[in-house]
Amino acid sequence: MRRQRPLDTALDSPDQRRAPEQALCWMNGELMPASRARISVFDHGLLYGDGVFEGIRFYDGHPFRLQEHLQRLVLSTRALALRILYDNHELTEAVHDIIAACTFGSGYLRLVVTRGPGALGLDPASCPRPEVFIIADRLRLVDEQVLERGARLIIASTRRLPADGLDPRIKSLNYLNHILARIEANHAGADEAILLNGAGRVAEGTADNVFIVRHGVLLTPPPVEGALAGITRQVVLELAQEAGIPVRETPLAPYDLYTADECFLTGTAAELIPVASIDGRALPRCPGMLYRDLQQRFSALVELSGRAP
């Protein structure tokens, strides 16, 4: 992999050097302020959503579950017959390089692979070289007030794309149906929206997975229902099993959400978010006891990962 130039020498002048907390970008082997990063207007990722991405948290200078994210990225590229010019070792090195260049020790990375620039028209054969870039910035999906009182959810009328249209295991740049659901949440004054699949069962949130608790059992929809197989979702499943909490992956209907004892959301950006109400129906416990337990275990795991060598 071509080593990036030192960050400061990649800038146009000393006056443009990176200010504290400024977002960074690693693009095709070069580190730069995110404001300097450029992509062609002919890039098929921009024109047609032809590309994939991963969102990755880093804590105290260490990426969280990086190899799981990179494995999912590779599977997504293979599903789209999308070439990636960097191997696992090179991408791992790039992630560590951009984290080391950050002035903030904890934040969020967006790793993107696009088809690259090509001719107008859908044919990907016109794109000779993919673009790969990583953005490093801070991100909080909800504010502290929401974490304290719990999120207010609605069930969106927008449905999750079915697997025979776009397999949810592909983390593609096409998020339009999630955006439409998010617009519904905004119009309703809600914090988040839940998407149902074509059969009317619960799939996922616009940017997160869904868990509920009933009679002490942790329940979540299986990926076959239209949910992304989230990395944080898997971490929560592992933590629950280690703690002896009964866990079931099972189809859920809106009724199950309305009548749950607890509900919470998980995701790389979301981390863990308690849910206070769904379609105006208040849940009995928020934050619930099981949520608090898993949140503490997740925080302890994050702290441990931040001390990794």
pLDDT digits (tens, 9 = 90+) for 16-29: 334 457 899 999 99
Q: What is the pLDDT of residues 170-216, one digit of tens each?
A: 999 999 999 999 999 999 999 999 999 999 999 999 999 999 999 99
Q: Is 2 part of any domain?
A: no
Query: What per-residue confidence (pLDDT) applies to 308?
Result: 55
DSSP labels for 17-73? SPPTT--EEEETTEEEEGGG----TTBHHHHH--EEEEEEEEETTEESSHHHHHHHH
Active-site entry in 18, 160, 171, 297: 171
Q: Using DSSP, how many helices (H) and how many strands (E) does the chain show?
A: 8, 15
- Cα–Cα distance measured from residue 219 to residue 256, given in angstroms and rounded to the nearest whole number: 10
Q: Are residues 286 and 223 in the same domain?
A: yes
Q: What is the CA radius of gyration of the chain?
A: 20
- Cβ neighbours, 10 Å, residue 264: 29
Q: Are residues 151 and 133 in the same domain?
A: no
Q: Are residues 234 and 153 in the same domain?
A: yes
Q: Is 3 part of any domain?
A: no
Closest CA to 52 of 81, 20, 27: 81
CATH of the domain at 70: 3.30.470.10
Q: Are residues 25 and 158 in the same domain?
A: no
Query: What per-residue confidence (pLDDT) applies to 165?
Result: 85
Q: Are residues 291 and 151 in the same domain?
A: yes
Phi, psi values for residue 160, rounded to 5°: -70, 135
**Does residue 171 have an active-site annotation?**
yes
Query: What per-residue confidence (pLDDT) applies to 141?
Result: 75
The model's pTM: 0.89
Query: What per-residue confidence (pLDDT) applies to 305?
Result: 76
**Number of compact structural domains in the chain:** 2
Query: What per-residue confidence (pLDDT) applies to 51?
Result: 97
Query: What per-residue confidence (pLDDT) applies to 207?
Result: 93
Cα angle 237, 227, 279; round to 5: 95
Query: What per-residue confidence (pLDDT) applies to 78?
Result: 96
Q: What count of residues does the chain have?
A: 309
Query: What per-residue confidence (pLDDT) applies to 304?
Result: 86
Q: Is 133 part of any domain?
A: yes
Q: With a cut of 50, which residues of the chain have pLDDT below it?
A: 1-3, 5-6, 8-19, 309
> Helices 231-242 and 66-79: crossing angle, nearest 10°?
130
Query: HSE of 280 in the Cβ direction (CA atoms, 13 Å)?
Result: 1
- Pairing verdict, β 209-214 and 262-267: antiparallel
Choose the final residue of a domain: 110, 137, 164: 137
> Which domain range does residue 119 map to?
8-137
**By the 8 A CB rule, do 93 and 26 touch?**
no
Q: Is 1 part of any domain?
A: no
How far is CA 294 from each of CA 171, 237, 239, rounded to the nearest angstrom?
26, 10, 7
